[in-house]
Amino acid sequence: MARPPFFVTSLCTRQNVNSPIRNLSIAGTNGGVEGEVAAQNADRTSSVNHQSEQQSFAEIAKDVCKVIRARPRWEEILLSDFPTVNFTDPRFYTEVLKAQKNVMLSLRFHFWLSSQNGFLRDQFSDEVIFSGLVQAKAASAAKCFRQNMNFVPQPSCLEAYIQCLCENGLIEDALNVFTELRGVGHCPSLKIRNLALSESIRAGRTDIVWKLYEDMTESGVVADVDTIGHLIQAFCMESNFPEGHQLLRQALEAGNVPSSVAFNKMIYESCKNRDYFRLSSLLHSMIATNCSVDIFTYQHVIQGLCETRKMCEAFRIFNDLKNRGYAPDMVMYTTMINGLCKMKLVGDARKLWFEMIQKGFNPNEYTYNTLIHGYLTTNHLNEAESLYKEMCDKGYGETTVTYNTMIHGLCLYGRVGEAHNLFNKMAENGVAHDVVTYTSLIQGFCKNGKIAEGLQFLYELLKQGLQPSPASYTVLIEKLCEIGHVLEAKSLWNDMQDRGVKPAMSTYDSIILGLIKQGYVTEGLDWLSSMMKSRLKPRRKTFEELIYHLSQADKLDESLSILVYMLRLGHVVREKIFHSLVNKLCKDNSHHIEMQMGYIV
């Protein structure tokens, strides 16, 4: 028996749809007119049959999709649930893809169908799946599908794929697709190229930025103002500030104004490089070109100026911000207050404090600590204590930073007993001590002549497993050397070295002076030599003490050599050092006096 038409067997038996039989007539049997009418009837019947067939496919596809969505292991039961459906029919497969709203389930169906006998893939079905994955931003799945299926999408689809890859951080894969498109003679749009540049910058991949730009120039694509903005940012990320500024200047001269993002990046780099003349120029350029100067731009500028103690310029820009209708936020006020306190302009800082409160900003812990520290460093201890009490009443006092601020301030004024009480209170309230806490107490006790207590705090710091800072050792070594305990000072020095702590420059000076004081001039000279090899600059007092004691020990050649080195480093030599050397040389009747002193002068 002949096999019935496919669309009959492909329908689900539950639908109970009878297959229409097409009537055939032979032209000319009943005359020309009858034959023509019969042919027209046959065409209409065929069209109806096709519509009915497509409708049946669509209905069954919806049922299949319902099963796929509802049953976790639908692959195991799909054939048994639909025994009369020919899933490998491309027309039915297309209807399933249309009905299935979940691209990942469509992909799963595609892989299942690929395992069935008789299924033949085609470009159209592959592109439907691939495009769906791209639209769903499923970059990894789209990449895997393309590799496994080994097909080449249309160029327009690949452009969308580039965007999908970039937005998922797969920048290198996007770059490969650009190369692929160039190989087939397709030039991606400037919009897609700029998107790729933007995402490359976001990912920190300036190497890919330059490769993309090289591809643009070789393809004859003209960059627009967005492209220029991305390139400026890339220059800044590579710390190539001059090139970035030159490109910006050229763009502005040509009438192209990059986005505020590019300007802000340049401003940030200017702050970092402490190039505040250029920073001011950039800010004025933004204003002159009507580029959006937002609160974050001002924040960068003001913070940079405050950090370099350019408070007059910072104030001018801060006031300009308010005049332009911007409302400074909490961060801006705190930055200004902190900068003023560092400049010891506590009166101005206090004015801003009250202005901030009037604007509806309640001071937070950091703002309180900033002003308290300002009071402490300008001999306003009573005001600092009053503000500290206010802060504690508002519930901000029980933190390590807050305690450290007060402990450091009390130690500055020699009130180490009160500082120690706060230290103990921290433990009682469960607030952790850190290296700043211990270092403040070490410095405070040592400067008050209580070196044993300072050493005890250092040992406790180490016992707690904290990593000491150079400041944790410096004052101890200095005070030990002052009282003649050079061996103990050298022991602390060795401990620093063992723990990987880099000594402060003044630590060398303290040990050299301590050694000289104890009569170990030769060893002090060795330490000076070590400083020279490390390219450190000893203090003037260190040189003078060595010169004096070497000359007293009749080591005039060494004295003169150190004097020459001292002059080369730019130290100003006091007259009494010259007189001391001349007198010593005269007493020894050295015939080299005139030659040596002439060389030095």
SS (H, E, C) 110-173: HHHHHCCCCCCCCHHHHHHHHHHHHHCCCHHHHHHHHHHHCCCCCHHHHHHHHHHHHHCCCHHH
Q: How far apart are CA 175 and CA 329, in angstroms?
A: 41
The two tokens of residue 244 are 């970035």
Instruction: Write down the pLDDT at residue 21.
Output: 28
pLDDT of 342: 82
How long, in residues, is the chain?
601
Helices (H), 465-504: 470-482, 486-498
In 10 A of CB 357, how many CB atoms?
13
CA–CA separation, 369 and 389 (whole Å): 12
The alpha helices in 223-380, defined as continuous H runs, are 225-237, 241-253, 260-272, 276-288, 295-307, 311-323, 330-342, 346-358, 365-376
From 125, 121, 122, 191, select the one nearest 156 (Cα to Cα).
191
- Give the dihedral of Cα atoms 554, 558, 559, 564; nearest 10 deg: 160
Separation CA 192–CA 195 (nearest Å): 5
At residue 55, the pLDDT reads: 55
What would the two tokens of residue 563 be? 């004097």
Cα separation, 88 vs 115, in Å, equals 10
**Residue 590 carries which DSSP code?**
-
What is the pLDDT, as a whole number, of residue 353?
92
pLDDT digits (tens, 9 = 90+) for 261-302: 787 777 777 777 777 677 767 777 777 777 766 777 777 777
Q: Is 399 helix (H, G, I), strand (E, B) or coil?
A: coil
Burial 592-601 (b: 16+ CB within 10 A, else e): ebeebeeeee
Cα angle, residue 563 at apex, residues 558 and 565 outer, rounded to 5°: 95
- Give dist(CA 583, CA 112) in Å, integer: 103
* Element counts in the chain: helices (H) and strands (E): 33, 0
By the 8 A CB rule, do 234 and 210 touch?
yes
Which is nearest to 155 in space by CA: 121, 175, 127, 114? 127
DSSP 170: -
CA distances, 329 to each of 45, 190, 294, 394 (Å): 76, 38, 12, 21
pLDDT for residue 567: 84
Helix, strand, coil percent content, the chain, rounded in steps of 5: 70, 0, 30
Q: Specify the pTM.
A: 0.55
d(CA 329, CA 350): 17
Radius of gyration of the chain measured on its C-alpha atoms: 41
The whole-number pLDDT of residue 516 equals 87
CA distance 328 to 453: 46
pLDDT for residue 15: 37
What CA–CA distance (Å, rounded) separates 48 from 67?
Answer: 29
CA 79 to chain centre: 54
Give tens-digit pLDDT for 418-436.
999 999 999 998 999 999 9
What backbone phi and psi angles, to 5 degrees, belong to 77? -120, -5
Report the distance separating Cα 374 and Cα 381, nearest Å. 10
Q: Which pLDDT does position 462 carry in this prediction?
A: 92
Q: Which residues of the chain have pLDDT under 50?
A: 1-35, 37-42, 44-51, 53-54, 590-591, 593-601
What is the predicted pLDDT for the residue at 460? 93
201 CB contacts (<8 Å, ≥6 apart)?
209, 230, 233, 234, 237
